[in-house]
Structure 1
Amino acid sequence: MDRTFWQKRRVLLTGHTGFKGSWLSLWLQSIGVELLGYALPPPTNPSLFEVARVAEGMTSVIGDVTDYEHLRKVIADFQPEIIIHMAAQTVVHTSYIDPVTNYNTNVMGTVYLLEAIRHLGGVKAVVNVTSDKCYENREWVWGYRENDPLGGYDPYSSSKACAEIVTAAYRDSFFNINNYSEHGVAIATARAGNVIGAGDWTANGLIADLIRSFLEHKSIQIRNPYATRPWQYVLDALNGYLTLAERLYNKGPAFAEAWNFGPNESDMKPVDWIVEKMLSLWGEGVTWEKDQTCQFHESNSLSLSCSKAHLKLAWTPKMSLEAALSQIINWTKGYQTGADMRAMTIDAISQYMDLG
């Protein structure tokens, strides 16, 4: 990611009030972007958006991506050069409870955004953030590649596969790379999953559940302790999105496709490893046990092949899993003691950029 590229760029970020959106908002603010965020109110209480005072350095618009007329007006008025689409229903468990809202947000929200871009013009680069769960999960021991079949057992996973198909259809039908000189829009999808970082209070998320148990001094129930996941530090994933957006802006059609962003193979760890490591780092005697009440389906193993991003984007993860967990604990202890969380979060971003 070239920080000089972003200075004074007009960027619209959907989902800016969420966990990843808040981190990305602060990152973009710190490198001089003219930023507008469009999202529902923060989805959790507390939230990183409020704790780190994210709205202070940007224009924050509260709106629903399924409200087409409002979304279209905001885009028309702001006239962004780059759009990063992160607004979504992000929790597997929630998708079982309310599948209609899950599909409406994740699928039709994508349709409405792309339709607005199609009619308004002016946008040069679009990154639609989906999920590693968009793949048909066959419990393979090797990583999924961008050309592997899409699918999804649960409503959330299948909605992300649908969002991928919608994006590909719009790209082929309305933003075809062969006609790039006419429309000037380059659209790509970014597939990352199990993104972890400080300030995540997402319901039914492992890191969030652990942090709540630490702060409340309660034992934690773990749904699927032996499942292996591609744990990835939030800034590594966001660095991938930003790098991709730069390439789309500068090189257009050459990068208008799907991209995987995942951790190094050494950071593929089972849930119980994460739990034990976090308990050790926290150091205050919280315990855990297996949740015997869990009744919905979750995959046991999922990993991504990121060879394409390594080779064509020169993107690689910079933060090890152990370092990421340590950063989460340090940030949380700062929050617990009343530190300035905006300054602390921006400092974490600065330190990450300095890693080279």
Structure 2
Amino acid sequence: MIQGLPNSDFWRGRKVLLTGHTGFKGAWLLFWLESMGARVTGCSLAPEQPEALFSHLHAPERLASEIVDIRNFKDLASLVARAKPEIVFHLAAQSLVRRGYRDPHGTFETNVSGTNNLMQALAQIDTARAIVVTTTDKVYRNVGDGRAFVETDPLGGHDPYSASKAACEMVVDGWRSRLAGAGCAVATARAGNVIGGGDWAEDRLIPDAIKAWSSGQALQVRRPDATRPWQHVLEPLRGYLLLAEKLASGAETAPAYNFGPVTDSATVRKVLSFAAAAFPDAKTDFAELAEGPIEAQALALDPSLAETDLGIHSLWDLDQTVTRTAGWYRAFLEGRPAREMCEADCDAYLDDVSMRQRLASSE
């Protein structure tokens, strides 16, 4: 095994429960798990968009996929009891900031009560050995000073989505001791802004840009100078997989890890400048004043703990991340199969990780 890459021998035949498998990150993670031979049970709502990446990558015969609402404890507990997972990735969530303003009740119910339901269901079985719960970079109490957050910083949230994810962290912490007593380790994963091919969700920068530019319209940008820790979807997924392996091994781990770029966060304006290169006719209208609900102007993560404990750090810089993402969408719109492009991105990423490790070992 090359250090810094998931261990295929560990995952081959391993029983995995993946919630949110029909979502953007969930579909990519499922794709990776399947490639290593894991036996995956997917638990999610049906995809919201007809062009959802999941429908392009997976067929029913490739996994045990169930449409279950994590807010329904009875149905969720039944699925968990039947799946008997050894490893759990909890990605199912209401993950959109602006939707959180429109539907705060549903956001808290999914992100807080849904997570509690899953923890309770897993506590009732004795098969789980590792649980990775994904939250967000927005769980921190952001005072606007632009400092990169570390895992021990206070949690908080100035909007329903952020607050619900901070509360989700508290739910996980409340179950940690009981699960540990049953031989199951749990950690949360706080990822920065994730981009990559196949995301069609509303109110996200790259999907909104692709939809506008591909239809000949100008992209309306409400906060062009807001900064975020952008990263390609494969970056945090590698972290999730390695974290799960370490949790299952019984090794000492922190209760939470940041996954984000080593370099500083970048502005929305800069990201769009790279993305527009794949769409020569792209038009963008930048708002002079911030519009819409309150959102943090600056957000940055310090991922050094993941580098120390898991031996990883981000691989692709902003230019490569955005260029690959925009190129994925351009090729998809021109008729290239989504699965083929995801395979190409995965192959390129794994090759780059392997090269980085070989260079490091020769120094």
State the TM-score, normalizing by the size of structure 2: 0.92
**1:271 aligns to what?**
268
* 1:161 Cα deviation after fit: 0.3
1:294 and 1:46 map into 2 onto residues whose CA distance is 29
Q: Which residue of the other structure, out of 26, 43, 60, is the alignment partner of 2:31?
A: 26
Q: CA deviation digits over 1:178-206, x for unaligned, max 9?
A: x4xxx111010000121111111110000
Q: Which amino acid aligns with 2:44?
A: A
Q: Which residue of the other structure, out of 39, 43, 47, is the alignment partner of 2:48?
A: 43
* 1:217 Cα deviation after fit: 1.4
Q: Which residue of the other structure, out of 175, 182, 186, is the alignment partner of 2:179?
A: 175
Q: Which moved more, 1:269-278 or 1:285-294?
A: 285-294
2:87 and 2:303 map into 1 onto residues whose CA distance is 24
Q: CA deviation digits over 1:320-348, x for unaligned, max 9?
A: 21111111122112211222211221232
| 2:222–2:292 Cα contact (<8 Å) kept | no
Q: CA deviation digits over 1:83-141, x for unaligned, max 9?
A: 00000000000000000000000000110000001112210000000111000001233
* 1:351 Cα deviation after fit: 2.1
Structure 1's consecutive aligned runs of 4 or more residues displaced over 4 angstroms after TM superposition are none
**1:328 aligns to what?**
325
* 1:291 Cα deviation after fit: 7.9
2:282 and 2:296 map into 1 onto residues whose CA distance is 30
2:290 and 2:247 map into 1 onto residues whose CA distance is 46
**1:70 aligns to what?**
75
Q: CA deviation digits over 1:239-278, x for unaligned, max 9?
A: 11111000001125x1251111111224x11111111221
2:44 and 2:335 map into 1 onto residues whose CA distance is 27
Q: Which amino acid aligns with 1:137?
A: N
2:114 and 2:206 map into 1 onto residues whose CA distance is 27
1:280 and 1:12 map into 2 onto residues whose CA distance is 39
Give SS of 2:201's match.
coil
1:299 and 1:293 map into 2 onto residues whose CA distance is 11
| 2:115–2:168 Cα contact (<8 Å) kept | yes
Q: How does 1:218-297 map to 2 (within 5 A)?
A: 218-252=217-251, 254-255=252-253, 257-266=255-264, 268-290=265-287, 294-297=291-294
2:301 and 2:164 map into 1 onto residues whose CA distance is 19
Give SS of 1:275's match.
helix
Q: How does 1:59-208 map to 2 (within 5 A)?
A: 59-172=64-177, 174-176=178-180, 179=181, 183-208=182-207
2:290 and 2:146 map into 1 onto residues whose CA distance is 28
1:306 and 1:332 map into 2 onto residues whose CA distance is 28
Q: Which amino acid aligns with 1:124?
A: R
1:327 and 1:130 map into 2 onto residues whose CA distance is 25
* 1:48 Cα deviation after fit: 1.1
1:61 and 1:343 map into 2 onto residues whose CA distance is 25
Where does the alignment leave 5 or more consecutive residues of structure 2 unmatched?
A: 1-5, 355-363
| 1:26–1:54 Cα contact (<8 Å) kept | no
* 1:56 Cα deviation after fit: 5.3
Q: Which moved more, 1:317-326 or 1:239-248?
A: 317-326
1:214 and 1:3 map into 2 onto residues whose CA distance is 39
| 1:80–1:122 Cα contact (<8 Å) kept | yes
Structure 1 residues 304 and 285: alpha-carbon distance in aligned structure 2, compared to 1, 3 A threshold: closer
2:11 and 2:56 map into 1 onto residues whose CA distance is 25
| 2:192–2:301 Cα contact (<8 Å) kept | no
Structure 1 residues 184 and 310: alpha-carbon distance in aligned structure 2, compared to 1, 3 A threshold: same
User: What is the RMSD of the two structures over their aligned residues, measured on CA atoms?
Assistant: 1.6
Q: Which amino acid aligns with 1:301?
A: A
Structure 1 residues 326 and 54: alpha-carbon distance in aligned structure 2, compared to 1, 3 A threshold: farther
Give SS of 2:40's match.
strand
- How many equivalent residue pairs? 348
Structure 1 residues 15 and 339: alpha-carbon distance in aligned structure 2, compared to 1, 3 A threshold: same
Q: Which residue of the other structure, out of 316, 325, 336, is the alignment partner of 1:339?
A: 336
Give SS of 1:140's match.
coil
State the TM-score, normalizing by the size of structure 1: 0.94
Structure 1 residues 215 and 280: alpha-carbon distance in aligned structure 2, compared to 1, 3 A threshold: same
| 2:220–2:284 Cα contact (<8 Å) kept | no
